[in-house]
């Protein structure tokens, strides 16, 4: 059972009562590898998240092509301080709970894609400025260059030892983590190892494309392995990478010993949630 964290949603018209969303691509991506998805509301309290995570086998934090990435901090006029947004608070709580679970020998993996990847870096670095903006990486297929750390047998790209692969990955982001900034941030570099990097469209700089935890089973990619590889025939060679990453994380969740009763699995599964089309070409799971 894999939890997927929802994102804030500002509905209009017939959907004005909807406040949370999850992209169906993520559930399809995980389902295809044998995972069962449970939606997690970003509005849940810390005790509620702790209870739910005690019955899940892992959590997936994705992004949304219409959501403003790096929306983690805002300035509160009342407190005169910078505060975490509700989404970032939920992500931080999940991040901290998962760390404690693993410290207590309860195996619990996390995965972050795009926005989720950026949030992991934001939290691990403890630097609100670790993310830079104005990356020309919208609707962009970027080459993926692997580092030496990618060739670890137990890592997410361990298959490269037996099956070398040259791929491009689908990107759709404006914020990024500069490769050198990552290496120069001691806290971030001590927490995660860089597995791959990519250039922007103009080859102006290099950004971190994939990372995994040194101590914790936390994994993240800036690109979207779940998107377009399924429906863009010109990129069908990337389907192998898509499947390998999906199966890698789902297999990691199978190492978790947490259990959920069958009746609860059926009740909480995202299969019970309808998919809406709030606008032409956009399909989302929506929640009030």
Pairwise CA distance, residues 157 & 210, whole Å: 10
Please report the pLDDT score of residue 171 as a whole number.
Answer: 86
Closest CA to 116 of 32, 6, 216: 6
Reported as a single tens digit per residue, the pLDDT across 229-238 is 544 544 544 6
Please report the pLDDT score of residue 78 as a whole number.
Answer: 82
Pairwise CA distance, residues 141 & 133, whole Å: 18
Closest CA to 176 of 118, 229, 217: 118
Q: Which residues of the chain have pLDDT under 70?
A: 64-70, 228-239
Please report the pLDDT score of residue 248 as a whole number.
Answer: 96
Cβ(149)–Cβ(194) below 8 Å? yes
Please report the pLDDT score of residue 237 as a whole number.
Answer: 46
Please report the pLDDT score of residue 116 as a whole number.
Answer: 94
Listed in sequence order, the residues at least 6 apart from 32 whose beta carbon sits closer than 8 Å to its beta carbon are: 243, 246
Please report the pLDDT score of residue 64 as a whole number.
Answer: 65
Cβ(18)–Cβ(74) below 8 Å? no
Pairwise CA distance, residues 57 & 257, whole Å: 7
| Token digits of residue 73 | 């901090």
Reported as a single tens digit per residue, the pLDDT across 80-113 is 777 888 999 999 999 999 999 999 999 999 999 9
Cβ(67)–Cβ(8) below 8 Å? yes
pTM: predicted TM-score of the whole model, two decimal places: 0.91
Domains observed in the chain? 2-287 (3.40.50.880)
Helix and strand element counts for the chain (H, E): 8, 16
Please report the pLDDT score of residue 52 as a whole number.
Answer: 96
């Amino acid at each position: 059972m894999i939890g997927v964290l929802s994102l804030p949603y500002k509905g209009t018209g017939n959907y004005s009562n909807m406040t949370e969303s999850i992209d169906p691509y993520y559930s399809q991506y995980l389902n295809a590898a044998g995972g069962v998805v449970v939606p997690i509301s970003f509005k849940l309290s810390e005790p509620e998240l702790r209870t739910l995570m005690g019955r899940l086998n892992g959590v997936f934090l994705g992004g949304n092509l219409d959501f403003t990435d790096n929306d983690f901090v805002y300035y509160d006029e009342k407190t005169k301080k910078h505060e975490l947004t509700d989404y970032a608070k939920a992500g931080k709580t999940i991040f901290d709970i998962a760390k404690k679970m693993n410290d207590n020998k309860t195996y619990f993996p996390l995965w972050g894609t795009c926005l989720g990847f950026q949030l992991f870096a934001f939290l691990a670095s403890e630097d609100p400025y670790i993310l830079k903006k104005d990356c020309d990486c919208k609707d962009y297929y970027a080459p993926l260059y692997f580092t030496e750390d990618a060739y670890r047998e137990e890592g997410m790209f361990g298959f490269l030892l037996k099956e070398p692969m040259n791929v491009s990955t689908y990107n759709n982001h404006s914020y990024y983590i500069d490769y050198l900034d990552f290496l120069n941030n001691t806290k971030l570099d001590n927490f995660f190892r860089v597995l791959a990097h990519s250039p922007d469209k103009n080859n102006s700089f290099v950004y971190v494309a994939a990372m995994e935890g040194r101590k914790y089973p936390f994994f993240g990619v800036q690109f979207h392995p779940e998107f377009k590889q399924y429906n863009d025939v010109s990129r069908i060679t990337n389907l192998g990478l898509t499947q390998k990453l999906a199966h890698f994380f789902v297999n990691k969740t199978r190492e978790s010993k947490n259990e959920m009763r069958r009746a609860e699995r059926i009740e909480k599964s995202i299969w019970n949630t309808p998919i809406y089309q709030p606008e032409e070409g956009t399909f989302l799971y929506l929640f009030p």
